Amino acid sequence: MGIFSRFNQDASTTSSSTTIISDSTFIKGIIDTTGSVFIDGKFEGVVISAGSLTIGKTGEVVGKIKVGKLTVSGLLDGIINAEDVSVLETGKILGTMQYQTLVIEQNGIFEGQGTLKNSILKSQYKSIEDSQFKELIEDITKKQKAKSSK
């Protein structure tokens, strides 16, 4: 039975199948599955999965991701839309992410912009004039210079 073939699997096994991209494998393209995906190699492209995407310690993914559950131990760089996201201690996510739940373990890295789906919280920061902050910073800087010149 081929790992990527749907034609030689019966319907009962298709929904629980796992697509595996092993270490030392590089693939470009689209993965669209109802099952799970495990990547320990390198992948560039799009992953759409109703199930889960797991990126192993040696895994590197660059692309657009839409999955139910995302677990990252390797590197993910891209645009992410996931329900549940876990960045493990060796994991790194770079990019833009929409999520319902987010867990980042100690030493795990998320660098980019994250948005909680259906959030009712709205930042008030943008409603404050930047010029107000600029004036405050200038005043503090002048005071610090005056102190240091004494």
| Residue boundaries of the structural domains of the chain | 11-119
Nearest to 37 by CA among 23, 10, 56: 56
Residue 135 belongs to what H/E stretch? helix 130-148
Other beta carbons within 10 angstroms of residue 49's beta carbon come to 21
Other beta carbons within 10 angstroms of residue 25's beta carbon come to 12
Q: Which residues pair with 31 in a beta bridge?
A: 47
Report the C-alpha gap between 76 and 87 in whole angstroms: 10
- Pick out the chain residues at pLDDT < 50: 1-14
Cα 35 to its chain centre, rounded Å, is: 19
Q: pTM value?
A: 0.74
- What does the pLDDT read at residue 127? 64
- What does the pLDDT read at residue 10? 44
- What does the pLDDT read at residue 35? 93
Report the C-alpha gap between 62 and 51 in whole angstroms: 19
- What does the pLDDT read at residue 12? 42
